[in-house]
């Protein structure tokens, strides 16, 4: 028997009065969090939630997310956290695909959630959370309020005896190559991450540790690497519903945050903030980055200003998500996202599946107890990426002689220009070295003769200047002639980002195509 919910229950038994969750003026101790999740679990059982049944969670980083997550897990239910920006049509697809019997959503997303609830017959329950304002009263069968379910539930609840390989959560991918696919993560997948990730540091956890969640908890990085790990360590989790660099630094100072995990654009936004100097970030001891490659300039600037390294990791939803990490006590290697974590293996292969030697780029394959069970109800898609226990990440990279992994590009992001393979990250790293560049994204756009052309989209630092011709010449002087971007677009506003603050390259490509089509028709 293994139910992921024991990471909360065990520490609630040992440290009932320790602060578990902070969200501005809200605080929950481990004992209070345990009781609320017990009460919700017992009410969900009365509503008909059986082991193996799914429920969607559509909530930002608020305490109710944590309560809902473990309240669903305790009876053996399956959690399906979804992007809070989804519209009713997208929610309907996820409800139908996951066969979820209910959805827990807050007042901010009521319109979309209610419409999806009404349109999907198999969704029998809509649980409303008052955030940021009180949700209106809806007198309709199947509609409940979270606080009413918690109040009506039992304070004691016996956790369901799930099997380690039973599905605990389904994480839907972004759907960049079609409809989103649901990666089934088992109780053991997620328990393993929560217990192993703290082992990667030589520092001893302290009772006073405070770890901050700015990453969306619906994303596997925030959910597994931050929330689950914090609760498994009996640390304190401070939540930030929406990322804002000044607000993030204010919370770090206010709560004496010791551990901070973010994506590269968040670090860049904090470093660029004009009032950064007024915030005291001296409580920070560990900063981690993942979700996308981080620019070397950002790493160096952070180290120079705060006297310690940001440690980079790598993984995907399908790997629960961490596969590699820059592990203590070794200093991070520039450009590397670390070595495989305990229980995980990495190998690099060519298009024929042959293992490549160190230094050669190829497909990144991952094997270990962190790898998902498969894609929910999609055996063919599962078979395409899981072969002989090895998961094909879709990324291109190489290992060095010591087993450190270097990611070069997503395979689908690789640009094929006139028969040459071009990896966007190499050009992005170069652009980030330019003193005027704040954000850069390199994409491949259609070209009639070459197949694809290299385009760079750039946002400059405040009070900085650079022309497109200057940036193009800067790149041309430093990389091979077939690589430098022939098209450079400088924007007046930051590049578009998703909820996890990753730059949306698909949107940049789509915008280019719309502009190209409009020009052709004019």
Check residue 177 and give its pLDDT: 45
Domain boundaries, the chain: 6-17+24-181, 243-411, 414-521
Token pair of 442 as six digits: 């390199």
Which DSSP category does 159 fall into? P
Instruction: Name the nearest CA neighbour of 213 among 243, 190, 193.
Output: 243
CA distance 520 to 107: 44
CATH 3.40.50.12780 given to domain 243-411: yes
pLDDT tens-digit profile, the chain (522 residues): 999 999 999 999 999 999 999 999 999 999 999 999 999 999 999 999 999 999 999 999 999 999 999 999 999 999 999 999 888 988 999 999 999 999 999 999 999 999 999 999 999 999 999 999 999 999 999 999 999 999 999 999 999 999 999 999 999 986 544 678 999 999 999 999 999 988 877 677 788 899 999 999 999 999 999 999 999 999 999 999 999 999 999 999 999 999 999 999 999 999 999 999 999 999 999 999 998 888 888 999 999 999 888 999 999 999 999 999 987 655 778 889 999 999 999 999 999 999 999 999 999 999 999 999 999 999 999 999 999 999 999 999 999 999 999 998 888 888 989 878 898 998 999 999 999 999 999 999 999 888 899 999 999 999 999 999 999 999 999 998 899 999 999 999 999 998 888 899 989 999 999 988 887 776
Candidates 1.10.10.10, 3.40.50.150, 3.30.300.30, 3.40.50.1820; CATH matching 414-521? 3.30.300.30
Question: What is the pLDDT, as a whole number, of residue 176?
Answer: 42
Matching CATH topology for 6-17+24-181 and 414-521? no
Q: How far apart are CA 261 and CA 259, in angstroms?
A: 7
Its CATH architecture, for the domain 6-17+24-181, is: 3-Layer(aba) Sandwich (3.40)
pTM, 2 dp: 0.89
- Residue pair 400/336 in contact (Cβ under 8 Å)? The answer is yes
Taking Cα atoms as reference points, which of 181, 240, 249 lies closest to residue 212? 240
């Amino acid at each position: 028997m293994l139910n992921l919910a024991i990471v909360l229950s065990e520490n609630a038994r040992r440290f009932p009065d320790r602060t578990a969750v902070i969200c501005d003026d809200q605080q929950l101790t481990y004992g209070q969090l345990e009781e609320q999740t017990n009460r919700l679990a017992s009410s969900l059982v009365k509503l008909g939630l059986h082991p193996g049944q799914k429920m969607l969670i559509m909530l930002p980083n608020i305490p109710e997310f944590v309560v809902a997550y473990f309240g669903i897990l305790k009876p053996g239910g399956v959690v399906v956290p979804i992007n809070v920006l989804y519209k009713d049509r997208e929610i309907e697809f996820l409800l139908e695909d996951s066969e979820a019997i209910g959805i827990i959503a807050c007042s901010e997303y009521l319109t979309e959630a209610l419409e999806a609830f009404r349109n999907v017959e198999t969704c029998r329950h809509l649980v409303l959370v008052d955030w940021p304002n009180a949700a209106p009263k809806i007198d309709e069968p199947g509609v409940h309020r979270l606080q009413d379910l918690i109040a009506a539930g039992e304070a004691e609840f016996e956790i369901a005896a799930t099997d380690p390989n039973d599905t605990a959560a389904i994480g839907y991918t972004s759907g960049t190559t079609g409809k989103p696919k649901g990666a089934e993560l088992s109780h053991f997948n997620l328990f393993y991450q929560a217990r192993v990730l703290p082992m990667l540091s030589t520092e001893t956890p302290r009772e006073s540790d405070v770890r901050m969640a700015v990453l969306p908890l619906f994303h596997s990085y925030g959910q597994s690497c931050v929330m689950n790990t914090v609760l498994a360590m009996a640390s304190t989790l401070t939540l930030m519903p929406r990322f804002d660099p000044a607000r993030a630094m204010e919370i770090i100072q206010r709560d004496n945050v010791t551990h901070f995990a973010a994506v590269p654009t968040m670090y860049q936004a904090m470093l660029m903030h004009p009032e950064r100097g007024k915030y005291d970030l001296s409580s920070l001891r560990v900063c981690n980055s993942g979700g996308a490659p981080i620019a070397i300039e950002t790493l160096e600037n952070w180290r120079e200003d705060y006297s310690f390294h940001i440690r980079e990791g790598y993984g995907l939803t399908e790997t629960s998500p961490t596969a590699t990490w820059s592990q203590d006590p070794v200093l991070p290697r520039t450009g590397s996202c670390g070595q495989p974590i305990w229980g995980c293996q990495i190998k690099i292969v060519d298009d024929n599946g042959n293992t490549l030697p160190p230094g050669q780029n190829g497909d990144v394959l991952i094997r270990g107890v962190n790898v998902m069970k498969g894609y929910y109800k999609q055996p063919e898609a599962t078979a395409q990426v899981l072969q002989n226990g090895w998961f094909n990440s879709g990324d291109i990279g190489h290992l060095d002689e010591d087993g450190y992994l270097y990611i070069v590009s997503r395979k689908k992001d690789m640009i094929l220009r006139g028969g040459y393979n071009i990896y966007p990250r190499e050009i992005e790293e170069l652009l980030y070295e330019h003193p005027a560049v704040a954000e850069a994204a390199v994409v491949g756009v259609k070209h009639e003769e070459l197949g694809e052309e290299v385009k760079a989209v750039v946002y400059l630092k405040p009070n900085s200047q650079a022309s497109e011709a200057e940036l193009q010449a800067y790149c041309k002087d430093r990389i091979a002639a077939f690589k430098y971007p022939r098209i450079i677009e400088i924007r007046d506003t930051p590049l578009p980002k998703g909820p996890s603050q990753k730059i949306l390259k698909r949107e940049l490509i789509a915008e280019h195509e719309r502009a190209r089509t409009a020009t052709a028709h004019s």
